[in-house]
Structure 1
Amino acid sequence: MTTRISAVPRPAPAVDLAVPFADCHITSDAQAAVLRVLQSGWVTTGREVAAFETEFAAAVGAEYAVAVSSCTQGIELALRSLGLPPGSLVLSSTMTFCGAVQAIMHAGHQPVLVDVDPATGLPTPATVRTAVQAFGRPAALTVVHWAGDVADVPALAEAAGVPLDHVVVDAAHALGTYAGDAPVGSGPGATCFSFYATKNLPLGEGGMITTDDAARADWLRKARLHGMTADAWRRYLPGGSWRYNVADAGLKANMTDIQAAMGRAQLTHFPSWQRRRAQIAAQYDEQLAGLPGVGLPHRPAPGQGTHAWHLYPIRLRLNGGIDRDEVIAALSERAIGTSVHFIPVHRLAYFSQAALIPSAGLTGADALFGQLLSLPMYPRLSGAQVDAVCAAITGIAHQGISGKGTE
Structure 2
Amino acid sequence: MYLKVEFYRHQLGEEELNGVKEVLSSLFLTTGPKTREFEQSFASYLGVDGCLGVTSWTMGNFITLKALDIGPGDKVLTTPLTYVATANTILHVGAEPVFADVDPITGNLDPEAARKALTANKGVKAMIVVHLYGQMADMKALSELAKEFGVFLIEDCAHCVEGVRDGVRPGHLSDAAAFSFYATKNMTCAEGGAIVTNNQSLLERIRPLRLHGVDTYAMDQRKDGIYRHWDMTELGYKCNMHDLSAALLLPQLARIEETRKSRERLCKRYDKLLQGLDSIEIIPEIAGSTHACHLYTIRVDPDKRDRMLTELSLRGVGVGVNFRVVHLMAYYVERFGFEEGIFPMAERIGASTISLPLYPALREEEQEYVVETIKSILSEIGN
> For the superposition of Structure 1 and Structure 2, which TM-score range results when normalised by the shorter chain?
over 0.9
Deviates more, 1:249-258 or 1:186-195: 186-195
Distance 1:240 1:221, change over 3 A: farther
Distance 1:185 1:129, change over 3 A: closer
| SS, match of residue 179 in structure 1 | coil
**Counterpart residue identity of residue 306, structure 2:** D
CA distance in 1, matches of 2:222, 2:334: 47
Instruction: Report whether the alignment pairs 1:66 with 2:47.
Output: no
CA distance in 1, matches of 2:74, 2:151: 16
Would the aligned equivalents of 1:68 and 1:208 in 2 still touch at CA under 8 Å? yes
- The structure showing larger relative contact order (alpha-carbon pairs under 8 Å, at least 6 residues apart) is 1
Deviates more, 1:124-133 or 1:48-57: 124-133
Task: Provide Cα deviations, 1:38-85, integer angstroms capped at 9, x if missing partner.
Answer: 121320001110000001111111111111111111111221221235
- The equivalent of 1:116 in structure 2 is 102
Instruction: Report whether the alignment pairs 1:349 with 2:330.
Output: yes
Instruction: Report whether the alignment pairs 1:173 with 2:159.
Output: yes
C-alpha displacement of 1:384: 1.5
- The equivalent of 2:298 in structure 1 is 314
**Counterpart residue identity of residue 314, structure 1:** I
* Residue number among 312, 316, 327 corresponding to 1:335 in the alignment: 316
Deviates more, 1:233-242 or 1:378-387: 233-242
Instruction: Report whether the alignment pairs 1:55 with 2:36.
Output: no
Instruction: Report whether the alignment pairs 1:26 with 2:12.
Output: yes
**Counterpart residue identity of residue 296, structure 2:** Y
Would the aligned equivalents of 1:95 and 1:342 in 2 still touch at CA under 8 Å? yes
**Counterpart residue identity of residue 18, structure 2:** A
State the identity %: 32
Distance 1:52 1:165, change over 3 A: farther
Deviates more, 1:183-192 or 1:353-362: 353-362
| SS, match of residue 234 in structure 2 | coil
Instruction: Report whether the alignment pairs 1:384 with 2:365.
Output: yes
Distance 1:188 1:127, change over 3 A: closer
Deviates more, 1:274-283 or 1:263-272: 263-272
**Counterpart residue identity of residue 20, structure 1:** E
Instruction: Report whether the alignment pairs 1:35 with 2:16.
Output: no
Count of paired positions: 383
- The equivalent of 1:255 in structure 2 is 241
CA distance in 2, matches of 1:94, 1:282: 28
| SS, match of residue 210 in structure 1 | strand
Would the aligned equivalents of 2:328 and 2:338 in 1 still touch at CA under 8 Å? no
| SS, match of residue 84 in structure 1 | coil
Would the aligned equivalents of 2:55 and 2:193 in 1 still touch at CA under 8 Å? yes
**Counterpart residue identity of residue 242, structure 2:** T
C-alpha displacement of 1:187: 3.6
Instruction: Report whether the alignment pairs 1:99 with 2:80.
Output: no
Q: TM-score, normalised by structure 2?
A: 0.93
CA distance in 1, matches of 2:21, 2:323: 36
Distance 1:107 1:28, change over 3 A: same
- The equivalent of 1:76 in structure 2 is 62
Root mean square deviation, CA, Å = 2.3
Q: TM-score, normalised by structure 1?
A: 0.88
Deviates more, 1:152-161 or 1:353-362: 353-362
Deviates more, 1:374-383 or 1:354-363: 354-363
Would the aligned equivalents of 1:225 and 1:251 in 2 still touch at CA under 8 Å? yes
C-alpha displacement of 1:162: 5.8
Structure 1 alignment gaps of length 5 or more: 1-7, 10-16, 403-407
Instruction: Report whether the alignment pairs 1:363 with 2:344.
Output: yes
**Counterpart residue identity of residue 305, structure 2:** R
**Counterpart residue identity of residue 285, structure 2:** R
CA distance in 2, matches of 1:179, 1:216: 25
Structure 2 alignment gaps of length 5 or more: none
C-alpha displacement of 1:379: 1.1
CA distance in 2, matches of 1:359, 1:379: 38
CA distance in 1, matches of 2:191, 2:227: 31
* Residue number among 266, 280, 291 corresponding to 2:252 in the alignment: 266
Deviates more, 1:131-140 or 1:273-282: 131-140
C-alpha displacement of 1:118: 3.4
Would the aligned equivalents of 2:192 and 2:241 in 1 still touch at CA under 8 Å? yes
Distance 1:23 1:50, change over 3 A: same
